[in-house]
Amino acid sequence: MKTNKVYRVSTASLPTQNTLLKAQIKINKRSVKKAIEFIKQLFSSDIPSKNIFFDKLGGSFRREPEPDMDLKKFIELLEKNKSKIDTIGLQIGNPDPHKIVFVASFEDEQSTIRFAWLNCVYNSPNLQVINHIFKGVFGKDLS
């Protein structure tokens, strides 16, 4: 059962050169408006070498790329289907210690599950950008 809270689990504070945060942060349904704002700011941020892509899971068991999808279309569909949000979350150095991964997913009217992904190298400068966005939207640090 999902809770209606923004919550986070961490094992460290924000990183220095010697310590890195490891966390899985779930942003839940109650905060859809803030989550959408976070998505918009994160995807338009100046994180170097970020990789953004969209895919879907329809009638098969394999996700398929959605080359015609962009952030604006994804947000419009997400807002129309906000009662069917599956996941909005960040994985920071966990399970992959070298990556930060963001994913948002929901089910649309045709029972297609749509995904938006952003991943980047896990380092202190990238984490600081993400923390700045997170704090600006949610009023809290990632740690």
For 49-65, how does the pLDDT look when each residue is reduced to its tens digit (9 = 90+)? Answer: 999 999 999 877 889 99
3 vs 96, higher pLDDT? 96
- The string of pLDDT tens digits covering residues 100-132 is 999 999 999 999 999 999 999 999 999 999 999
Q: How many domains does the chain have?
A: 1
Residue 143 lies in a domain: no
Going from the C-alpha of 85 to that of each of 12, 31, 48, 110, 140, the distances in angstroms are 29, 11, 28, 14, 23
Residue 51 forms part of a structural domain: yes
| 46 within a domain of the structure (yes/no) | yes
33 found inside a domain = yes
How much is the pTM? 0.82
Q: What is the pLDDT of residue 52?
A: 97
| Residue carrying structure tokens 């070298």 | 98
Indicate the average pLDDT of the chain: 84
**Assigned domain for 1 exists:** no
Average pLDDT over residues 1-24: 47
What residues does 54 pair with on adjacent strands? 116
Task: Look up the domain containing 90 and give its range.
Answer: 6-11+20-138
The answer as to whether 77 is a domain residue is yes
In a domain, 72, yes or no: yes
